[in-house]
Amino acid sequence: MPLEIVTIPCLSDNYSFLIHNASTGETAVVDVPDAAPISEALKSRGWTLSHVLLTHHHWDHIDGLPDLLKDHPAQVIGAKADAHRLPALDIAVSEGDPLIVCGEAVQVFDVSGHTIGHVAFYLADTGAVFTADSLMALGCGRLFEGSPAQMFESLTKLAGLPESTIVCSGHEYTESNARFALTVDPNNPDLLARVAAIREAREKGLATVPSLLSEEMATNPFLRGHDPALQRAVGMDGATAVDVFTEVRKRKDNF
């Protein structure tokens, strides 16, 4: 049975996620921007925290951890490559390391780009990937530490997952990402339809995260460098996908 996933808004525009196994009672949380909403979600459901999964070291993904662990002691898991700037880890992992969380095998991906050592966690049986600030809804994270080639490689890994995969990313940036996407892919009918749905959801105060990987493949310009229509739109007919990605990322940085 797939595990239950609960999306928890934190801070002004962050998301954390609970992962729960009803059979074993285990519950994991992915990233801890703020302890209070996570503690409330656990309390309201009567769940006990067993694992914490950290994607990267930025403050808005880890700063709530000390307060959360005071009331909810749990195993903390994060990237070995990032361990020197993460909170103390009980389990340090690298890409390809075996990992079991809440009774399910978890595949660890190195998705460096936004930061070096950023990881994503993929639960194949549940069909969900937790990408934080690597692959985002209609976007990807700004390259604070890595190169365009590194981020392109990271996104290519994620794009290879089944298109039915649920993408649990770290921020409510979708509406602003949509405005940019229209500037580089203005004639994409799938994008136009998605933008309308995003506007409607946000007007109702609804979250646009998680998203489906199939949606991202059809509409996210950072995954579409191979598409001749997008290449033409940015004046790069016949360019390599990584070069188109680099140009699109540059434009987003200046948007």
- Residue 245's φ and ψ, nearest 5 degrees, are -55, -45
Distances (CA, A) of 119 to 41, 157, 220, 247: 25, 12, 20, 24
Answer yes or no: is 13 a known binding residue.
no
Answer yes or no: is 58 a known binding residue.
yes
Contact of 69 with 58, CB cutoff 8 Å = no
Written in H, E and C, the secondary structure of 38-91 is HHHHHHHHCCEEEEEECCCCCHHHHCCHHHHHHHCCCEEEEEHHHHHHCCCCCE
Answer yes or no: is 61 a known binding residue.
yes
Helices and strands, number each (H, E), in the chain: 9, 15
- State how far the Cα of 40 lies from the Cα of 59, in Å rounded to an integer: 21
The one-letter amino acid at 202:
R
Answer yes or no: is 72 a known binding residue.
no
Taking alpha carbons only, the member of 92, 146, 125 closest to residue 21 is 125
For residue 95, give every residue at least 6 positions away whose Cβ sits within 8 Å of its Cβ, in sequence order, or none. Answer: 108, 109, 110, 119
Contact of 102 with 3, CB cutoff 8 Å = yes
Answer yes or no: is 97 a known binding residue.
no
- State how far the Cα of 254 lies from the Cα of 220, in Å rounded to an integer: 18
Residue numbers in the known binding site are 56, 58, 60-61, 114, 133, 171
Which residues are annotated binding-site positions for Zn(2+)? 56, 58, 60-61, 114, 133, 171
